[in-house]
């Protein structure tokens, strides 16, 4: 009996398993099935994927090394599916060759300034950015939270912490600019910082610092004792 996706319970279908459990939980056959999308000629996509692996002795490397014309001769593989395979293998090869970007580690406010001064120093509007950090103070993700009008930028804790929670961050730093050239915290800056600090305590995701950049000057809330 041919196993097709329609005969499988929804929870057991490769694409659903990928989204539910993550790609690492799938077998190589299931991952190939997700890539191929559909079967052909009465053969289910899982069967087509399994046959592809069988003729390559179960090796993805051997499968990737097969000539494109050979892929087109495989049962159930047409130009569209062969094209997806070739593109996927090339992406994998490029990923393997790509150098990992240097890890940014934040040890002091000056590290934040070095990271952001070039992009914030000359802006004519305020931008509010988030740095999500791991337990070693390495940057997991940078997020532009909001871009506002001159001297006005509205920030909601939900928008700030959403990305940090998604990254399983250990803590956050926020940074924004003052187009006026004066880094002195405004009443709004102080209120936003206290709101974020309070939300961080509730979420057990502390706000380590709030850095304001204005031209070549800056103010760190942590250094100034404002946190």
Does residue 176 fall inside a structural domain? yes
Contact (CB, 8 A) for 159 and 145: yes
Cα–Cα distance, 108 to 224 (Å, whole number): 13
Whether 73 maps to a domain, the answer reads yes
The reply to whether 102 falls in a domain is: no
> In this structure, are 136 and 93 located in the same domain?
no
Do residues 50 and 147 share a domain? no
Tokens of 38: 């559909």
Asked whether residue 88 falls in the same domain as residue 190, the answer is no
Whether residues 116 and 192 share a domain: the answer is yes
Report the share of the chain in percent with pLDDT over 70.
91
In a domain, 226, yes or no: no
Q: What is the CATH number of the domain that holds 52?
A: 1.10.150
| Mean of pLDDT values over 111-127 | 92
Question: Domain containing 171: what range?
Answer: 109-220
Listed residues 97, 122, 153: the one ending a domain: 97
Total domain count, the chain:
2
Are the C-beta atoms of 130 and 160 separated by less than 8 Å?
yes
Distance CA 155, CA 158 (A): 9
Q: Is residue 227 part of a domain?
A: no
Q: Is 149 found in the same domain as 89?
A: no
Best CA proximity match to 185, nearest among 157, 150, 226, 223: 226
Q: Pairing mode, if any, of strands 207-214 and 171-177?
A: parallel
pLDDT digits 0-9 by tens, 9-45: 666 788 888 888 888 888 999 999 999 988 887 788 8
Give this prediction's pTM.
0.60
Beta bridge partners of 23: none
Answer yes or no: is pLDDT of 212 > 70.
yes
Question: Does residue 33 sit in the same domain as residue 131?
Answer: no
Closest CA to 140 of 116, 113, 168: 168
Domain assignment of residue 142, yes or no: yes
pLDDT in tens, 125-161: 899 999 999 999 999 999 998 887 544 456 888 888 9
Instruction: Tell me, letter by letter, the H, E, C secondary structure of the chain.
Output: CCCCHHHCCHHHCHHHHHHHHCHHHCCHHHHHHHHHCCCECCECHHHHHHHHHHHCCCCHHHHHHCCHHHHHHCCCCCHHHHHHHHHHHHHHHHHHHCCCCCCCECCCHHHHHHHHHHHHCCCCCCEEEEEEECCCCEEEEEEEEEECECCECCCCHHHHHHHHHHCCCCEEEEEEECCCCCCCCCHHHHHHHHHHHHHHHHHCCCEEEEEEEECCEEEECCCCCCC
Which of 72, 97, 122 is the last residue before a domain boundary? 97
Within a 10 A sphere around the Cβ of 164, how many other Cβ atoms? 23
Tell me if 103 is assigned to some domain.
no
Whether residue 141 is contained in a domain is answered as yes
Residues 133 and 214 in one domain: yes
Same domain as 199, residue 148: yes
Which of 97, 132, 153 marks a domain boundary?
97
């Amino acid at each position: 009996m041919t196993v097709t996706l329609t005969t499988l319970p929804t929870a057991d279908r490769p694409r659903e398993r990928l989204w539910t459990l993550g790609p690492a939980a799938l077998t190589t056959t299931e991952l190939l099935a997700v890539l191929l999308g559909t079967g052909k000629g009465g053969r289910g996509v899982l069967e087509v994927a399994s046959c592809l692996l069988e003729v390559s002795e179960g090796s993805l490397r051997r499968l990737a090394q097969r000539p494109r014309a050979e892929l087109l001769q495989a049962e159930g593989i047409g130009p569209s599916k062969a094209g997806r395979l070739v593109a996927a293998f090339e992406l994998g090869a490029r990923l393997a060759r790509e150098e990992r970007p240097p890890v940014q580690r934040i040890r002091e406010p000056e590290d934040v300034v070095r990271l952001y001064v070039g992009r914030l120093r000359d802006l004519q509007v305020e931008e509010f950015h988030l740095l999500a950090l791991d337990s070693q103070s390495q940057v997991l993700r940078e997020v532009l939270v909001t871009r506002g009008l001159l001297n006005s930028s509205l920030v909601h804790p939900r928008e700030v912490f959403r990305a940090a929670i998604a990254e399983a961050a250990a803590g956050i730093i926020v940074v924004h600019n003052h187009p006026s050239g004066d880094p002195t915290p405004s009443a709004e800056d102080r209120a936003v910082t206290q709101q974020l600090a309070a939300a961080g305590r509730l979420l057990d995701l502390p706000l380590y610092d709030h850095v304001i950049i204005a031209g070549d000057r800056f103010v760190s809330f942590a250094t100034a004792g404002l946190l």
